[in-house]
Structure 1
Amino acid sequence: MHAFSKPAQPQPSLTLAHTHYENFPVASLLLPAHLRHAVTVIYQFAREADDIADEGNASEIERLQALQAYEDELLLIQAYIQPSQPLFQSLQAVIRTHTLDVQLLIDLIDAFKQDVVKTRYANFEEVLDYCRRSANPVGRLMLQLYGSDSTQHRLWSDQICSALQLINFYQDIALDLQKHGAVGRIYLSQEDMLAAGISEQDLRAQRLDRHWQQFFLSQVGRAEAMLKAGKPLGRALPGRIGFELRMMIAGGERIVHKLKSCRGDIYHHRPTLKAYDWPLILLKALFKR
């Protein structure tokens, strides 16, 4: 049987923090109990779809066909028709219970399809458009689950999610160069690279001079500004939900600090969160505005 032929049923475990889909809020014990199942099911869907786009040895055509099968199941749900696969039956129940917008899940699939076929981004607007479909739907789904889906909250959420996606890109510049065969993926704006005198060969050669450092820090600074712009959402949302979001924001800020400290050498010092970072993140989430 082909690895992509049948979605697996969602597992009961909530220990999802170390899976590939890093920008999705984990169904942690910080979340209210009545939301954990919904988050787990949505996470399972997103993780599996992301793995179809990135993992294994399937061909481009096979990946697109598998992702289209996922989209077809979502279209059945959108049309109020019973889907055929167990994962999507669980997803349909979650969508009905919490009145979620199916189009947001379709947007995620569209982003994963794009990952299969698109490896370069002409300008920053194209990068942000990818973030709009790959990351922002996650935040909007969470707002709908929380019952806090206002216009201002969506604006803040989009800024946070896009910023976290960008931060992840900057962490993974070296890793993304190894994806999609010899071509590699580059999520940096080609227009920005050209203006800074940075080439794809410079990335492969692991250029670390002053010009690269300035370019890298400017990219990180732009993401940091977006994260800061969305930060009020962490205080606007109540209770444990707001605290969960503030932890995510503080984690993003900690990675930004490490990206700045490495001054562009993400080839030998890919920033990750260590055990000693978590007390700092906790303190920021509790006390800092």
Structure 2
Amino acid sequence: MQAFSKPAQPPSGAQPSLSLAQTHYENFPVASLLLPAHLRHAVTVIYQFAREADDIADEGHATEAERLQALQAYEGELQLIQAYIQPSLPLFMALQQVVRTHKLDVQLLLDLIDAFKQDVVKTRYANIDEVLDYCRRSANPVGRLMLQLYGSDTPQHCLWSDQICSALQLINFYQDIAIDLQKHGQTGRVYLCQDEMQAAGISEQDLRQQRLDATWEVFFLHNVMRAEDLLLAGKPLGRALPGRIGFELRMMIAGGERILHKLKSCRGDIYHHRPTLKAYDWLLILLKALFKQ
């Protein structure tokens, strides 16, 4: 497909929806009322773009070729924006206006598409470097885009943001081990490091059979603690950013910490105790964001 050709429709079963924010379970707030009013539209447009592209990679029953074609079409729309040419789809017209208004780096959006393409074709990760490289493109761009919206994308802030976003991505991997095994046809996706699994004596068959013993618990908690270390490393950003923007971020960090607490409490049994946030959890998150971070 030519880079600037009119994009094809998303594959069957992965049609974009105007209510994606309501139909997808999210652990962390998106474009909440805590954000300054002048940023809510931009955050909503960016979120819808990312959610739709992610659904093309993950949802429905399209073939691998159809998914890649649809994602290539989205990439073509972004390249039009990057070249200061008007795109053809309404979502990308809105995205172009957001990019122009807030002077956003389109490459960050292209990095997201690159990560979604990778999800279509890559289902195993040899080591932590490969996992973190995926996080660099699948999660970190969102944090950097938010910093650009806030006008706070200093090198230090970007480093902290990358650590937070990568940590939240890892947390999502660990709570969704069973769900990811059901994706991508018969093969499933495994975001756990293959070299670490082999060293620990854990096989993919163990994952499918929901192995629960001391060896699995130690291995699982090792991964959870790595995500926690990353989240703690980026935590100063929650106080570095001012006002409601900083409070929104502290809510996200506290949400991540609450999920980490639940992951550690389940001691590896994410098959029967997948962490979710309930009303009581949100109260704790609110209090922590207000007083403890």
TM-score range, shorter chain: over 0.9
Aligned counterparts of 2:271 and 2:170: Cα–Cα separation in 1: 17
State the AA in 2 paired with 1:34.
H
The alpha-carbon distance between structure 1 residues 19 and 31, as it changes in their structure 2 partners (threshold 3 A), is same
1:184 is paired with a residue whose SS is coil
Q: Report 1:198-237 matches (<5 A).
A: 198-237=202-241
How far is the alpha carbon of 1:19 from its aligned partner? Answer: 1.9
Aligned twin of 2:24: 19
2:21 is paired with a residue whose SS is coil
- Determine if the alignment matches structure 1 residue 182 to structure 2 residue 189: no
RMSD, aligned α-carbons: 1.9
Whether the aligned pair in 1 keeps the contact of 2:167 and 2:231 (CA below 8 Å) is yes
* Identity rate, percent: 81
State the AA in 1 paired with 2:73.
A
Aligned twin of 1:285: 289
1:58-91: CA deviation from partner (whole Å, max 9, x where unpaired): 1000000000000000001101111111110110
- Determine if the alignment matches structure 1 residue 255 to structure 2 residue 264: no
Aligned twin of 1:160: 164
Whether the aligned pair in 2 keeps the contact of 1:127 and 1:187 (CA below 8 Å) is yes
1:37-58: CA deviation from partner (whole Å, max 9, x where unpaired): 0001111100100000000111
Aligned twin of 2:38: 34
Q: Provide structure 1 residue ranges, at least 5 long, that are not aligned to the other structure.
A: none
Aligned counterparts of 2:187 and 2:47: Cα–Cα separation in 1: 29
Moved over 3 A (4+): 1-5, 7-11, 22-25
Aligned counterparts of 2:23 and 2:62: Cα–Cα separation in 1: 23
Aligned twin of 2:55: 51
Whether the aligned pair in 1 keeps the contact of 2:16 and 2:52 (CA below 8 Å) is no
Whether the aligned pair in 2 keeps the contact of 1:23 and 1:165 (CA below 8 Å) is no
How far is the alpha carbon of 1:227 from its aligned partner? Answer: 0.1
State the AA in 1 paired with 2:225.
G
The alpha-carbon distance between structure 1 residues 42 and 210, as it changes in their structure 2 partners (threshold 3 A), is same
How far is the alpha carbon of 1:123 from its aligned partner? Answer: 0.3
How far is the alpha carbon of 1:237 from its aligned partner? Answer: 0.3
2:277 is paired with a residue whose SS is coil
Aligned counterparts of 1:8 and 1:81: Cα–Cα separation in 2: 25
State the AA in 2 paired with 1:127.
V
Whether the aligned pair in 1 keeps the contact of 2:111 and 2:141 (CA below 8 Å) is yes
The number of residues matched between the two structures is 285
Whether the aligned pair in 2 keeps the contact of 1:82 and 1:89 (CA below 8 Å) is yes
State the AA in 2 paired with 1:271.
P
State the AA in 2 paired with 1:220.
V
- Determine if the alignment matches structure 1 residue 146 to structure 2 residue 157: no
TM-score, structure 2 normalization: 0.93
Q: Provide structure 2 residue ranges, at least 5 long, that are not aligned to the other structure.
A: 1-7
